[in-house]
Amino acid sequence: MISDVVSKIKALSQEIQPELVKIRRHLHRHPELSFQESNTTAYVVEYLQQAGILVERKYAETGVVGLINLKERADASSLAGIEAPGKVVALRADIDALPIQELNEVPYKSQVKGVMHACGHDLHTAVLLGATFILQRIKNELPGVVKCIFQPGEEKNPGGASILVANGVLENPQVDIIFGLHSDPGLEVGQIGYRYGAMMAQADEFYITIKGKSGHGAAPNLAIDPIPITAEIVLALQKIPSRLTDPLEPVVVTVGKIEGGKTVNVIPDTVLLAGTVRTLCSDLAKKVHRAIEQIVKGITQAYNANYELEYKYGYPVLVNDESATDFLVNCGQAYLGKRNVKEITRPSMGSEDFSYYLQKVKGSFFRLGTGKSEKGAAEYWHSSRYDVDESALSVGAGFMAYLAYCYLNLADSSN
């Protein structure tokens, strides 16, 4: 029985592979920044509607949800309070791009100046569309509902997931379990990566304005120079991971932006610095926040300067549910083979707003192998040369469809 299902889904995934390549390349040519994905949304909606899938768009200005195995309703409001015919599994992909100028010379190179799919979200979207197509083809074998979430704004606080969750994307009908994926150039095509528990970090942001007193560069004693004060603060912030926190608890403090001054002989009034804090514990993030405040206050006071600090708590730690991850691993081994299901031994200090879904329902986030260095697809995320091996499209689409199929049939048989 299982082998028959695997064969059927793999055959369907190979059948749609050329279309998935077409979709992915269109998305790659036409990237859109977070919460600006209007054209991407329209493109996905057209595909869903052509496949006869119910479309729901009420959760955010951009992004869309496709519903498999719910009858067509007259309007979106009629979904309120609906009960699903069985369990409900959600599959999620993110659709936004990054403010990066692409340097790849490929036929599908980004046509939008300064914007690029440098994190694989074009592949994620194509993969989920592929899974949707497959599931729609076998919907008579699904004793439940599949919610396919094409989510905006993963790359920018407050995160599209937080908005969709607040607006009820996991309700009407109520989601029982959710799965999401991310491309991984460190895994070969045909492989997936999984991890139990904490998988990705909490990501916070800080913005500090150092307020001095402007003056002539030849008379620094008559001014309060915010530039050397900023330099001391940048160096002192690096003492937080090395001296102010437990060395066994991962902490990253990175200053990614400094702005100040306009010319060589003028001391400016202010300098702005901004950065990110990454932790695997929300309590530790609060401790780092307090440490930043103490450091900035102490150094500015020593030089008679002032400051403003804005600290923004970002995406929470992504924690995979144990039972959902067990299920993911078992499905992966059945669909891909045991040797192609790899445990991720260490968490990443990168962040993912998929964590907001996991705060509400059980689920698991996994990595999809997209790397083959001989094909030039081994650049790391957020690189201006990031690309993927497109043969991963059918693998991801088939596996996500298989996850949904197995969960709904297993849940049905246990009732």
Catalytic residue among 94, 102, 122, 154: 154
Identify whether 96 is a catalytic site residue.
yes
Q: Is 203 in a helix, a strand, or coil?
A: strand
Catalytic residue among 37, 94, 96, 353: 96
- Is 212 within 8 Å of 226 (Cβ atoms)? yes
Pairwise CA distance, residues 201 & 158, whole Å: 15
- Is 210 within 8 Å of 303 (Cβ atoms)? no
Pairwise CA distance, residues 318 & 178, whole Å: 13
Q: How many Cα atoms sit within 13 Å of 339 on the Cβ side?
A: 1
Identify whether 154 is a catalytic site residue.
yes
Q: Which residues contact 289 (CB under 8 A, 6 or more apart)?
A: 204, 206, 277, 311
What phi and psi, each to the nearest 5 degrees, are found at residue 301?
A: -60, -40
Q: How many Cα atoms sit within 13 Å of 184 on the Cβ side?
A: 21
- Is 97 within 8 Å of 117 (Cβ atoms)? yes
Could you write out the DSSP letters of every residue in 386-415? ----TTHHHHHHHHHHHHHHHHHHHHHHT-
Pairwise CA distance, residues 183 & 201, whole Å: 17
Angle formed at CA 89 by CA 84 and CA 90, multiple of 5 degrees:
115
86: left (phi over 0), alpha (psi -120 to 50) or beta: left
Pairwise CA distance, residues 205 & 244, whole Å: 19
What are the residues facing 163 on neighbouring strands? none
Catalytic residue ranges:
96, 154
